[in-house]
Amino acid sequence: MKLNIIFACIVALAIAVMYANIGGLDIYALDEAKNAEAARHMFTTGDYVVPYYNGELRTDKPPLHYYFMAAGYSLFGVNPFGARFFSSFFGVLTVILTFLFVLKHFHTRAAIWSALVLITSLHFNLQFHMSVPDPYLIFFTTWAFISFYEAYKTHNRWQLFFFYFAIGCGILTKGPIAIALPGLTALFFLLFNKDFKWKTIWRLQPVGGLLISFMVAFPWYREVHRQTNGAWTEEFFLKHNLSRYSEAMEGHEGIFLITFAYVFLLGMLTFTPFVFQSVKHAIKQRKEEPLLYVLIATLVVVVFFASSSTKLPNYTVPAYPALAVILGVYLSRIDEQWLKNTWNKVGHLMYTIVLLAFPVGIYVGLQADDSLGHLSYLAWYFIPLSLLGVLNVVWLIQKRIYPLLVSNAAGWLITILLFFHLIFPPVDAENPVRKLLPQIDETQMVLSYQRLNPAFVFALEREITRFDNLDGLKEQMKQSPSGYVISRTEFRDELEQIEGLVYHSEARDLFENPTTLIMRWGP
């Protein structure tokens, strides 16, 4: 098959999975709703310096993803599709970058498998279905990884410029982490390659290059610092960087091994039986310079976040493209001899059992949740994975490795498309915003007490004033003859102390224990 046809197929598959139903799923997840709303505020007010969420200064992240979301709103309206359009776009670009890097430094077959590793990773695709900063950081980190190696090998000044420019964009997306990951990768690569020499360092121009990075990001950081009198700067760097690394936040903690599980098991679920052998192969073949480089890039990301006190599955996704290269190269080199190894066969049989049991596990999980039990029929959509398990047994008996790899990729690709188009939409429809919003008159006053689901703010496209005490809430209620108060059921007894405020409706938050409560007053 001609290379241009192969490339077109890879791009088409990447678009199919990255854009799968991005407009058909509500913006409901807490972080996604807050980011989408902060971008909406920028878009509607025209203030692209200071980020706000629901009238409060938002210090969680820098603004580059807000800018892209605002561009999406401008093109497609303030809706989930507009919020997520560029997230998916950068997912496609990340696949393309990975494919082209492997094509240049290895061969076509390795490039195909590397791209397929990303395309068939459900967790990787989930990241690019969300209006959060992670899709942008993943892309810019991947671009920086690749540009550094190209600059190192070819002495190309444009590649060196792209390396520092990508870092600058990363700083404007998520802060100092955009320097740490590519910078540590470059440092350890030079050390392991025994080329940490003054001549090489001078050629890579780290001082001048970082000036380019800071020129991209510094103007905004300076201006937001000025306009907030340093409040944004202090909160972002001390709380959302230093504190998040040094101590677990929001209950997201665990032993360091959980980070390795996120990357090698959750992220590479499609090719789990091969992932550890691929890393072992890369270590053995470390004399192949590009393989050594992506191995270092993978380990830098994994070890960095394994040492962090706060641990989340999305933190380590920047390692996926580099790990996809390791897996892609390995998959392109194995043959039927792989199936003659006893441990390989045992590992793949265990993986096959997991595939066969997948629908049962989903069914049991849905039945165990009172609010989702009626959706247990969705387990049938995971039958392709069970069929894949049956095929795996056939290929193992026949000792045919290539059909086994192809059917694995195809089975997960079908499952991913089913997940976004048919499986998750009915689950998503159970969120309290979808259930409760049609039951209220959106033209009336809407307030909140103590806790507020951020998705309501984005869905109503306006600020919902939140109160921590009943006196303030009562005073505000006097400003309108009728309206609603959004809270949680745990505060119902307190709210019923207010004369005229009565129960209206409630719905449990999706995948969480709290239940959203709506009270009303007036006719």
Q: Is the CB of residue 358 less than 8 Å from the CB of residue 382?
A: yes
Tell me: do 309 and 424 sit in the same domain. no
Compute the average pLDDT of residues 271-298. Answer: 95
3-state secondary structure 133-168: CHHHHHHHHHHHHHHHHHHHHHCCHHHHHHHHHHHH
- Burial class from Cβ neighbours inside 10 Å (0-12, 13-18, 19+) for residue 193 reads middle
pLDDT of residue 253: 61
Tell me: do 136 and 221 sit in the same domain. yes
- Other Cβ atoms within 10 Å of 399 Cβ, number: 13
Tell me: do 232 and 269 sit in the same domain. no
Tell me: do 414 and 474 sit in the same domain. no
Tell me: do 488 and 350 sit in the same domain. no
What does the pLDDT look like over 85-95, one tens digit per residue? 999 999 999 99
Residue finishing a domain among 409, 430, 451: 430
Domain that holds residue 399: 336-430
- Burial class from Cβ neighbours inside 10 Å (0-12, 13-18, 19+) for residue 191 reads exposed
Q: Is the pLDDT of residue 1 over 80?
A: no
**For residue 171, which amino acid is it?**
I
pLDDT of residue 286: 92
User: Could you tell me the two tokens for 392?
Assistant: 């795996």
What are residue 507's DSSP bridge partners? 516
Tell me: do 61 and 172 sit in the same domain. yes
User: Torsions phi, psi of 82, nearest 5?
Assistant: -65, -40
Tell me: do 202 and 102 sit in the same domain. yes
User: Could you tell me the two tokens for 168?
Assistant: 């600058």
What are residue 56's DSSP bridge partners? 53
pLDDT of residue 463: 94
pLDDT tier at 509 (50, 70, 90 boundaries)?
confident
Tell me: do 187 and 100 sit in the same domain. yes
Q: Is the CB of residue 382 less than 8 Å from the CB of residue 360?
A: no
pLDDT of residue 245: 65
User: Could you tell me the two tokens for 216?
Assistant: 């991209």
What does the pLDDT look like over 186-218, one tens digit per residue? 999 999 999 999 999 999 999 999 999 999 999
Alpha helices in 315-441, H assignment, sequence order: 320-333, 342-368, 383-398, 401-418, 424-428, 432-436
Residue finishing a domain among 291, 308, 326: 326
Tell me: do 113 and 125 sit in the same domain. yes
Contacts of 324 (CB under 8 A, 6+ apart): 98, 114, 115, 117, 118, 121
Residue finishing a domain among 430, 454, 469: 430
Tell me: do 232 and 371 sit in the same domain. no
Q: Chain-wide mean pLDDT for the chain?
A: 93
Domain count, the chain: 4
What does the pLDDT look like over 131-167, one tens digit per residue? 999 999 999 999 999 999 999 999 999 999 999 999 9
Compute the average pLDDT of residues 506-513. Answer: 83
pLDDT tier at 263 (50, 70, 90 boundaries)?
confident
Query: Which H or E run contains 447?
Result: strand 445-449
Tell me: do 220 and 251 sit in the same domain. no
Residues in the chain: 523
In whole angstroms, what is the distance from residue 189 CA to residue 186 CA? Answer: 5
Q: Is the CB of residue 50 less than 8 Å from the CB of residue 57?
A: yes
Query: Which H or E run contains 467?
Result: strand 466-467
Q: What is the CATH number of the domain that holds 513?
A: 3.40.190
Q: Is the pLDDT of residue 249 over 60?
A: no
Tell me: do 225 and 280 sit in the same domain. no
In whole angstroms, what is the distance from residue 398 CA to residue 378 CA? Answer: 33
> CA angle, corner 249, sides to 243 and 251, nearest 5?
160
In whole angstroms, what is the distance from residue 477 CA to residue 500 CA? Answer: 10
Q: Is the CB of residue 151 less than 8 Å from the CB of residue 40?
A: no
Closest CA to 30 of 365, 421, 316, 431: 431
